[in-house]
Amino acid sequence: MKYYDKLIFELSKPGRTGYSLPEVPGQARNNDVSSFQPKSRNPILWRESPLDLPEVSEVDVVRHYTNLSQMNFGVDTGFYPLGSCTMKYNPKINEEIAGMPAFTGLHPLQPTSTVKGALEVYAGMDKALAAITGMKHFTFLPCAGAHGELTGLMLMREYHMSRGDMARTKVIVPDSAHGTNPASAAVCGLDIVVVKSKEDGLVDVEALRPLLGPDVAGIMLTNPNTLGLFERDIKEIAALVHACGGLLYYDGANMNPLLGVVRPGDMGFDIMHLNLHKTFSTPHGGGGPGSGPVGVADKVVPFLHIPHVSGFHGNFGIILRAYAYILMLGREHIKMAGKLATLGANYIKESLKDCYKLPIPTVCKHEFVFDGLLEPNGVSTLDVAKRLLDYGFHAPTIYFPLLFHQAIMIEPTETESLETLDAFIAVMRKIAEEAATDPEMLHAAPHNTPIGRPDETTAARQPVLKYE
Ligand SMILES: *Cc1c(COP(=O)(O)O)cnc(C)c1O
């Protein structure tokens, strides 16, 4: 353990400070509450003993926070091929625009007549997203993709109920779906029906047919699906679902490769969300922040909730970053984003398929899935993921989708250079070699990170965040 890996409390020395103030008679000095005599004491709020703050010098504080920042991994520190999450670089111009005082200075309770500029940004986003997706209008109420799914399903239900069509309680979800899809349907009070995928990873249209009927509210699909494969039968699927009276919901988390190329509206989708924090480059991770605007086709527009912006202007900083990204690329260049991401994913896939097991060998879109090492020698996907950290790369998504037991889901975004992709490929090959020669070392990886292998459930559910 390095000296500065210590907690700041462990560096504390009584009486040491990072500041010096002149003494003011009758006022508390440093941390000493005993000399402080307020006019009245609220017994509930009054502290009985001084606050237990670490007592350290300025340089210790600076080193503490600087070192902490370096224990983190982000898109700004390295390649982050986390499948399904589209960890896209957030261009710095986005930050400058989101940080403009005219935007950051807005007060949540300002009269509407004084925030016309912000509303114009929302109107511009509505237009841009409608053009990109082929939807009619968007609501900016939802603050994440899953939040958008729930909003979209509620719109779907309202649509059916407004027509007196009360029996539509089922939502069809493919077995490859992201977990939030069935979860949102369940929260919305709908019953989930799973449709199987075929050997080639696409929805089985023949298995779908018998599931359709007057009790189906709709189907939720992401296209390309979670294996990174384009659902080629989407036109037929849309026709079948519409013929039975259902609607199509598009999970837009995988919109990245389709930007400027294909539109969900043209595929037949009626309701969709976008993850602005994925496809439109605004930073995300660690649970937030996000924005999951929901777009709808003509026939669902009457059910959009008013206003279209959530309380206190919504997650406005995210909207601004996404808007800057869209305007910067424009109609002409936005289609390069998806094409480059797709090229990068196929390049990695083809360069590694002699070392890693590729269950579905077709051309992928922006991401693809390996099923562990071709010759594992006892080395698991978790071992590979942990070892990648030693080499300075973030791990891909692992053990998702659930269709394979050792899934490694790799998504390089369009902002990565050929050199970065080559470096990643070289390291993945190196790890495959290590698996053959020294599997024990891989079981114990990572070897160079501040934390090795915590119990992930305990770390997520019962994190220890305070110093006792
Ligand atoms: C990320 C993701 C979601 C959920 O979006 P959040 O913004 O994380 O709530 C849904 N579906 C897919 C395919 C995703 O990748």
The half-sphere exposure of 408 on its side-chain side, counting CA atoms within 13 A, is: 28
Inside any domain, residue 216: yes
Do 362 and 308 lie in one domain? The reply is no
In tens, the pLDDT along 41-68 reads 777 888 888 788 899 999 999 999 998 8
The dihedral formed by the CA atoms of 280, 285, 288 and 291, expressed in degrees to the nearest 10: 20
Residues of the chain with pLDDT under 50: none
Do 188 and 312 lie in one domain? The reply is yes
Ligand 1 atom 7, closest CA: 145
Spatial distance between the Cα atoms of 388 and 442, rounded to a whole number of angstroms:
10
Atom of ligand 1 at shortest distance to CA of 84?
A: 15
Question: Of 286, 310, 329, which closes a domain?
Answer: 329
Q: Quote the ligand 1 centre to 320 CA distance (angstroms).
A: 20
Count of domains in the chain? 3
Nearest to 87 by CA among 275, 291, 263: 275
Ligand 1 atom 2, closest CA: 253
Q: Quote the ligand 1 centre to 403 CA distance (angstroms).
A: 18
Question: Of 37, 71, 105, which closes a domain?
Answer: 71
Inside any domain, residue 60: yes
Q: Domain of 261?
A: 92-329
Three-state SS letters, the chain:
CCHHHCCCCCCCCCCCCCCCCCCCCCCCCCCCCCCCCCCCCCCCCCCCCCCCCCCCCHHHHHHHHHHHHHCCCCCCCCCCCECCCCCCCCCHHHHHHHCCHHHHCCCCCCCHHHCHHHHHHHHHHHHHHHHHHCCCEEEECCCCHHHHHHHHHHHHHHHHHHCCCCCCCEEEEECCCCCHHHHHHHHCCCEEEEECECCCCCECHHHHHHHCCCCEEEEEECCCCCCCCCCCCHHHHHHHHHHCCCEEEEEHHHCHHHCCCCCHHHHCCCEEECCHHHHCCCCCCCCCCCCCCEEECHHHHHHCCCCCECHHHCCHHHHHHHHHHHHHHHHHHHHHHHHHHHHHHHHHHHHHCCCECCCCCCCCCCCEEEECECCCCCCCHHHHHHHHHHCCCCCCEECCCCCCCCEEEECCCCCCCHHHHHHHHHHHHHHHHHHHHCHHHHHCCCCCCCCCCCCHHHHHHCCCCCCC
| pLDDT of res. 42 | 77
Do 265 and 199 lie in one domain? The reply is yes
Phi-psi region of 290 (alpha: psi -120 to 50; beta: other; left: phi over 0): beta
Inside any domain, residue 392: yes
Ligand 1 atom 5, closest CA: 145
Inside any domain, residue 341: yes
In tens, the pLDDT along 226-251 reads 999 999 999 999 999 999 999 999 99
| pLDDT of res. 346 | 98
Inside any domain, residue 463: no
Predicted model pTM: 0.89
Inside any domain, residue 466: no
Pocket of ligand 1 (CB under 6 A): 84, 144-146, 178, 180, 222, 226, 251, 253-254, 275, 290, 292
Ligand 1 atom 6, closest CA: 145
Do 125 and 248 lie in one domain? The reply is yes
Do 147 and 62 lie in one domain? The reply is no
Candidate from 149, 150, 175, 178 with most ligand 1 atoms within 8 A of CB, to mutate? 178
Atom of ligand 1 at shortest distance to CA of 277?
A: 7
Inside any domain, residue 237: yes
Do 65 and 152 lie in one domain? The reply is no
Pairing of strands 247-251, 271-273: parallel
Do 341 and 304 lie in one domain? The reply is no
Do 65 and 102 lie in one domain? The reply is no
CATH number where 383 lies: 3.90.1150.10
Inside any domain, residue 80: no
| pLDDT of res. 39 | 66
Do 149 and 275 lie in one domain? The reply is yes
| CB atoms closer than 10 angstroms to residue 280 | 32
Question: Of 305, 329, 353, which closes a domain?
Answer: 329
CATH number where 113 lies: 3.40.640.10
Candidate from 175, 180, 222 with most ligand 1 atoms within 8 A of CB, to mutate? 180
Do 111 and 138 lie in one domain? The reply is yes
Do 276 and 171 lie in one domain? The reply is yes
| pLDDT of res. 142 | 92
| pLDDT of res. 35 | 56
Q: Are 237 and 203 in contact (CB under 8 A)?
A: yes
Q: Quote the ligand 1 centre to 227 CA distance (angstroms).
A: 14
Candidate from 143, 225, 251, 256 with most ligand 1 atoms within 8 A of CB, to mutate? 251
Do 179 and 319 lie in one domain? The reply is yes
Q: Are 261 and 131 in contact (CB under 8 A)?
A: no
